[in-house]
Homo-oligomer: A and B are copies of this chain.
Amino acid sequence: MITIKEIAAQLNMSTTTVSNVIHGKDGEVSEAKRAIVREFLEKVDYVPNINARNLAQNESKIIGVALKARADKYENLIMDPFVAELIGGIEETIRNAGYFMMLYISRDTEKIMRYVSTWNVDGLILFGMIGDDGIRVSARYKKPIVCIDTYSIEGLKHFTNVGLDDEKGTYEMVKYIISCGHNRIAFMSDNTNGVDYARFCGYRKALEEAGIEYKEEDFLKIRPRSEEIEESLEEMCLRSMDYTAVMCVSDLYAVTLMSALSDRGIRIPEGISIAGFDDNMLGSLYRPALTTVHQDVKQKGVVAAQTLLKQLKGEKTEHQITLPTRLVIRDTVTTPRKTSFYGYKNH
C-alpha cells in the first residue's frame, strides 16, 4: 500500500521521476536514477492505486458487462449455462488485454446507465437488450458499445452487434428433418421474441420451401416456470404425438422433452424425432445423443470483446458480425414412424 509520494520522499526525489520510471519513460530519466527507483519499486512491491490513476487520466480500464435480466427464466442470469460460457469468453479476452471486467446485472436500463457512468467504464458490452433498450443506452453513453444477440432491427442500426445466423440454423436443420421423410414437424419454444423468433423463422422458411403448410397449432409453447412445468410437459407430450418430429428451440428444451417422452414410454427416435439448438453438454451426453445445431458460444463472447477492444483503440470494425452455425447430426432424428400413436389419432 505504499504510494508514489512516499517512495519519492524516501528516495529523495520527485514524484515525477518515480512516475516516469514506473511508466518506462526512459528518455525522461537518467540511467542511474532509473536503476535506483526500479530496485526500490521491486523491494517494496509497489502497486498503483487504480482509483487515483483513473481520476487523473479520466479512464478506468474497466469494461462494463451489463446483462439485462429477463423476468421469467433463471432468477440469476449467470446460472444460465449459455451466459456462463459467454462471460467466460469475454472475461478471458478482456483480462488478456489488460482490462478489468465489471459485471452488472439488472432488469432496469436506468440502473445500468447509472452504473456505467458512476464507474466511468471505458467500454460496454450489452446482452439481453430488447426493443429499444439498446438504442436508449447508446443515445446516452458516448463510448464504444458492443451488443450481443440483439434482434431488434431498429437497434441494429445504432450499434455494433455480434449475433448468430439463427434463422439459417433452424432452416438447415428442418430441411434435414424433411429430407429424412418428415412432413409433420412441430416447433417448440416458450416465446416468440428475439432468438426464439429468429429460429422460428428458419423453421417456417424450410416448411414453406418444401410446400408443407404451417398451422398455428404447430407451435408448441412450453411454460417453463417450475409451478407449471409438469402440467405443461404433459401437454407437450400429448400434442407432439400429432407429429413425427419436433424442432426444439434449444438443447435444454429438447432434452427436457425427451425425458418427458421417455417417462411416458415413448422411444426416441423410433417414436418421434427430436432436434435441438445450441449443442451443449446436455445434448451430447444424453442417450440417444441429440441431433442439434451447433453454435460456438464462447467464441461469441470472444468476438464481442475483441471488437470492443478494437474500437477502444480507435480501429474501425464491422458493424454487424454474424457467427455461423453448423449441423451436428447424431441419433435423435431418423425416418418417421409409419403408424400413428394412440390409435384414434391419425391425419
Give 9 nearest A-B pairs by CB, closest first. A84-B84, A76-B88, A78-B88, A79-B88, A51-B54, A47-B117, A262-B287, A51-B51, A51-B55
Partner of A81 from B81, B259, B287, B289 at Cβ < 8 Å: B81
Residues of B within 8 Å of A289, CB to CB, are 259
Q: Looking at the complex, which one of B52, B74, B103, B118 makes contact with A47 (CB distance below 8 Å)?
A: B118
Q: Is A48 at the interface (CB under 8 A from chain B)?
A: yes
Q: Which residues of A contact B (CB under 8 A)?
A: 1, 47-52, 54-55, 60, 74-81, 83-85, 87-89, 91-92, 95, 100-105, 114, 117-120, 252, 255-256, 258-259, 262-263, 281-282, 285-287, 289, 298
Candidates B117, B252, B287; contact of A263 at CB < 8 Å = B287
**Is the beta-carbon distance between A76 and B103 smaller than 8 angstroms?**
no
Complex-state Cα separation, A114 to B282, whole angstroms: 38
Of B101, B105, B114, B259, the contact of A91 (CB 8 Å cutoff) = B105
Most buried by B among A84, A114, A258: A84
Assembly stoichiometry (copies): 2
Q: State in angstroms the CA–CA spacing of A255 and B282 once bound together.
A: 10
Query: Please, could you name 23 A-B residue pairs with CB atoms under 8 Å apart, sorted by A?
Result: A48-B118, A49-B120, A50-B119, A51-B52, A51-B55, A51-B120, A52-B55, A76-B91, A76-B92, A78-B88, A79-B85, A79-B88, A81-B84, A91-B103, A95-B104, A95-B105, A100-B104, A101-B102, A101-B103, A102-B102, A258-B287, A259-B285, A259-B289
**Which residues of B sit under 8 angstroms from A105, Cβ to Cβ?**
91-92, 95
CB of A132 to closest CB in B, whole Å: 19
**Alpha-carbon distance A344/B313, docked complex (angstroms):** 68
The reply to whether B55 and A118 form a contact with Cβ atoms under 8 Å apart is: no
The smallest beta-carbon distance between A285 and chain B, in angstroms, is 5
Q: A48-B118, A87-B78 are in contact. Are A285 and B256 (CB under 8 A)?
A: yes
**B76 & A298 in contact (Cβ 8 Å cutoff):** yes
Contact, CB under 8 Å: B78 / A91: yes
CB distance from A312 to the nearest CB of B (A): 18
5 more CB-based (< 8 A) A-B contacts, given A55-B55, A80-B84: A51-B119, A51-B120, A78-B91, A92-B105, A100-B119
The interface residues of chain B lying within 8 Å CB-to-CB of A49 are 55, 118, 120
Taking CB atoms, residues of chain B closer than 8 Å to A81 are 81, 84
